[in-house]
Amino acid sequence: MYIVGHKSDPVKLTIQPPAGWKIVNGRTERPGQSEWQFPNWDILIDTPTEVAPDWTEDNFEVDGKKYHVVVHSFGQERGRRTALVKDIEKIVRAEVAMWGAPEFEEYTFLVHFAADDRSGDGMEHLTSTQIIQPGALADPGVYEDTLGTVSHEFFHVWNVKRLRPQELGPWDFTRPLRTRGLWVAEGFTNYYGHLMLRRAGLWDDNQFFDREAQTILRIESAQGSRLMSAEQSSLSAPFIDGAAQAQSTNLQNTSISYYPKGELIGMVMDLLVRGRTKGKASLDDVMRDMYEEFYLKSSNDSYYLRGRGYQTEDLERVASRRASFDLSDFFKRHIRDVEVLPYEEAFAYAGLRLVKTQAKEPFSAGMSIQFQDPRHGFIENVLNNSPAEDAGLQQGDEISSLGGKDVTEASWRKTLARFKPGDLVPVTVKRDRRTIKINIVLGQPDRFDYRIEERVDATGEQKALRAAWLSGK
């Protein structure tokens, strides 16, 4: 909510909290503060403010900047909060080591452990981040997930909040926002969010490699990878970024997310630049060059913030300049088109290789099954031109039996694994109060695993390049 024509005006926020309640946001300068001045409405709305009776706050400093970790916890913690703050500090140090000192004096992590099994989000802001976890801090995996979100959102301090695509601020809320650059804004942040966990010492090499191999599996197994480019995915964000669709669509088979696609582009670009320059340049350098040119040194293009936004052609130009080789063909083939990324060349520079193997349960028959409980499976999606589609299976079908056996979440792929290509697999489904019996003609294996491993012939130079990449030194 804002006054049309006055978003650029200075604005004051005053809060009168209930007795005993506290106020906190990313621009709080003193205890008990209840009034704030903002240079414009966009800065105000980018400063989420909480009013509540209780939370805890822990603080630390990195290079003279103050950081606040505000935690709302609605579940068991088992004493993990102190360790969480220490690990957040490690992430901050790793990311500041890459970018240099941030321009703010203070920054606030607003962390909520909702313990409701449904609420979850992470959102970046200029001097804070809001992180909501659906579980409790003591729940398995929640601690690690929180650190992953922190690493991603804090990287946005530079990439997105300040170094930003041209369309991202100030926003025009009277029309849809479309940008080609989300594969950089979010995808590169995904890549660095994972890499920074390694550089902070919270992951080892294998954890990082395993995560990137999972991302490769996700992208290379998706039909949409051969149909939608990284730029097209960015432009399609309103339809694919968790948006609820009232109408039936085929987006699961025709689209990809710019998060994992951009993550892989970032990793491959980084290794190509490092490898072809023999370690003299990196994507780290490219990102710092972009930040300096478009945020620190460019004249302001609006009232909102310093500098100006960039287009993807600007990244292509800056990257080519820093790498001392022309990246236009890479952008054409892998970013504006859908050609598979050059994994082999990229990993070879670091003495690594990508290995693709047939999965232990190698068949899906082109369908994914969602289970409301372990014994009631419904077809969530049917891939185009797959055995399941050829057999006439449809989204929403309830599978009663597969291969003559009951269908369970744990067993349906094991059942398919008993067959071989060309076999007829009997299927019974319920659809519109009818029971339908059909046969799937099983095709070739369609499920694979990926892993990133060290080459046995890796040279000392390649190992040194890998160490510099993973450590940031």
Q: Three-state SS across 223-269?
A: HHHHCCCHHHHHHCHHHHCCCCCCCCCCHHHHCCCHHHHHHHHHHHH
Lowest mean pLDDT segment, chosen from 60-64, 74-78, 328-332: 74-78
pTM check: above 0.85:
yes
What per-residue confidence (pLDDT) applies to 376?
A: 84
The confidence band for 329, taking pLDDT boundaries of 50, 70 and 90, is very high
Per-residue model confidence (pLDDT) at position 240: 86
Structure tokens at 222: 């998706």
pLDDT at 78: 93
What pLDDT is stored for residue 176 in this prediction?
83
pLDDT score for 218: 97
pLDDT band at 84 (very low <50, low <70, confident <90, very high): very high
Whether the CA torsion 458, 460, 464, 467 is positive or negative: it is positive
Domain residue extents for the chain: 11-137, 182-242+250-350+455-471, 367-446
Neighbour tally for 23: CB within 10 Å:
19
Q: From CA 471, how far away is CA 419, in angstroms rounded?
A: 46
DSSP letters spanning 158-213:
TBTTTB-BTTSSS--TTS----S-HIIIIIIHHHHHHHHHHHTTSS-HHHHHHHHH
- Tell me what percent of the residues of the chain surpass a pLDDT of 90: 93
Mean pLDDT of all residues in 451-467: 98
pLDDT for 196: 98
Cis peptide before 170 (omega within 30 of 0): yes
Residue corresponding to tokens 């999606």: 381
pLDDT surpasses 90 at 340: yes
pLDDT tens figures, 275-291: 999 999 999 999 999 99
Work out the average pLDDT over 93-122.
96
The dotted CATH code for 11-137 is: 3.30.2010.30
Report helix, strand or coil for 354: strand
Where do we find the tokens 């695509």? 165
Average pLDDT, the chain: 96
Residues present in the chain in total: 473
Residue 411 has pLDDT above 80, yes or no: yes
pLDDT digits (tens, 9 = 90+) for 422-453: 999 999 999 999 999 999 999 999 999 999 99
d(CA 309, CA 286): 16
Residue 372, pLDDT score: 85
pLDDT score of 63: 97
For residues 233-246, average pLDDT: 84
Whether 243 shows a pLDDT value over 80: the answer reads: no
CB count in 10 Å sphere of residue 73: 20
Cα–Cα distance for residue pair 222/81, rounded to 1 Å: 38
Residue of 126, 130, 84, 85 whose CA lies nearest to 106: 126
Q: Determine the topology of domain 182-242+250-350+455-471 in CATH.
A: Neutral Protease; domain 2 (1.10.390)
* Among the four given CATH numbers 3.40.50.20, 3.90.110.10, 2.30.42.10, 2.115.10.20, the one describing domain 367-446: 2.30.42.10
Q: What is the pLDDT of residues 138-180, one digit of tens each?
A: 999 999 999 999 999 999 999 999 999 999 989 888 888 899 9
pLDDT tens-digit map of 360-391: 999 999 999 999 888 789 999 999 999 999 99
Is residue 66 predicted with pLDDT exceeding 80? yes
The larger pLDDT score, comparing residue 176 to residue 17, is at 17
Band of pLDDT at residue 460, cut at 50, 70 and 90: very high
Looking at the predicted structure, is the pLDDT value of residue 241 above 90? no
